[in-house]
Amino acid sequence: MPLSPKDDVRAAFEEIGAPFPEKVAAGRKITSPIDGGEIARIADDDPGVAREAVSRAVDAFNAWREVPAPRRGELVRLLGEELRAAKTPLARIVTLEAGKTLSEGLGEVQEMIDICDFAAGMSRTVGGRTLPSERPGHRMMETWHPLGPVAIISAFNFPVAVWSWNATIALICGNPCIWKPSEKTPLCALATQAIFDGAAARFAEETGEAPPPDLSSVILGDKGVASALVDDRRIPLVSATGSTAMGAEVAPRAAKRFARAILELGGNNAAIVAPSADLELAVRAVAFSALGTAGQRCTSLRRLFVHESIHGDFIGRLKKVYGTAAIGDPRDERTLVGPLIDRIAADQMNSVIADLRQIGAEVTGGAPKKIDGLDGAYFEPALVEMAEQKGPMLDETFAPILYCLPYTELDEAIALQNAVEQGLSSAIFTTDVREAERFLSAVGSDCGIANVNIGTSGAEIGGAFGGEKATGGGREAGSDAWKAYMRRATNTVNYGSDLPLAQGVTFDI
């Protein structure tokens, strides 16, 4: 018999060597999606605590920005080592608190390890350019400098990886981080902070110089705490992951004080299955993208456009997969579809399924599923055949609901894909190079992520992650996303004895 989620999460904290938070009778009730039972009661911080954390982060910034970047990278490298050692218990905490399958929990921690490796290497390569000057005896160059304390507001569905995408890059760029995790997954954040503290202790021991205190801190709470961070003029960058509605509040408030915002918001993601597609490959990719994390990824596949010549065959194959996908305790290695995060999510799925039946859509699955001994929000994944793109299909529902629609011409399918507010992830399945290239061209997908012959989810950390339109436009993780965490200066050096002016201007005195 597996441990109860309550006992299992405590055991995982012990394996990490992290203190489990003491129960606060009047605190926030933290439940496990696995059985709906309470696993902790935690006191929220108030906005005043958040402001105090910012003050400490400012002190940390003043010290950390003077540490050479490769030395900052050494701290991140040690964080990666600590995460490797704690990979299994931290993944268990992700599974127990967020409801992901253990395989996905392990994958999320592996993302953290990967971004640590990436950022540690980047600490020796980040730099500006030397530019040609039109003035003799002059040199122009760009320099990049630490920006300041970074606020990270994360969502429940990637309760640890999103922090690492931001924190590791921010740290090597010279910035401290203040993390406000989702109210639904605070234990993941507390465990991660303990792991970071272990890396900081090793850094002090191995280098003989302790990193400044409060280089990384966790603030627990609701919207009020997040608002305190967003509105604090001492925080030049807010990275916020969540709903489009949340982003619509964060963006203008940050802009009002001229702060930067990295927004990772909703995604009503689509895939196109063309006539030449490798159908076996496409079925597997579609199934993972739609069913993974029980449809609760921002990159989950929600809309599927299949060419009319293969529509019946492909949907038939997909229904077989849906009918056999194992639903249940995410700790069971056979499980493919775990629970929704809570009863609110369950109510949303039930409501959408009812609306779809009312408008005449053909719904396969979508019913609540009873799992012996577990009172979580388990559902059969829903496959919905639509005659046209309308109603709930135009909205993002954080649940395993996949809408299917036939198309005739590729340009029609691309137009349907792009006809939603969000622009996060997209994919096409084709062996026709012309179709693939058109999909990736300026007249193709309007998303920040556009894939060929892979699904919409499962991005690697080496690329910049993010989307367009109502997805927010932010970019995190790889490529040149580091630039958001630094300020740029253009420098001109006159190493001659004359003072020629640009553009041929003369000013003789």
Residue positions annotated with a catalytic role: 264, 298
Distances (CA, A) of 423 to 183, 392, 426, 471, 473: 26, 17, 8, 6, 9
Nearest Cα residue to 487 out of 150, 241, 148: 148
Residue with tokens 């996060």: 424
Residue 257 phi, psi (nearest 5): -105, 15
Q: What is the DSSP letter of 90?
A: H
Phi and psi (nearest 5°) for 48? Answer: -65, -40
DSSP state of 341: S
Residue with tokens 């200066």: 489
- Widest CA span of the chain, in angstroms? 90
User: Which residue type sits at 178?
Assistant: I
Reduced 3-state DSSP string for 250-315: HHHHHHHCCCEEEEECCCCEEEEECCCCCHHHHHHHHHHHHHHHHHCCCCCEEEEEEECCCHHHHH
Which residue in the block uniquely carries the two structure tokens 């992650």?
465
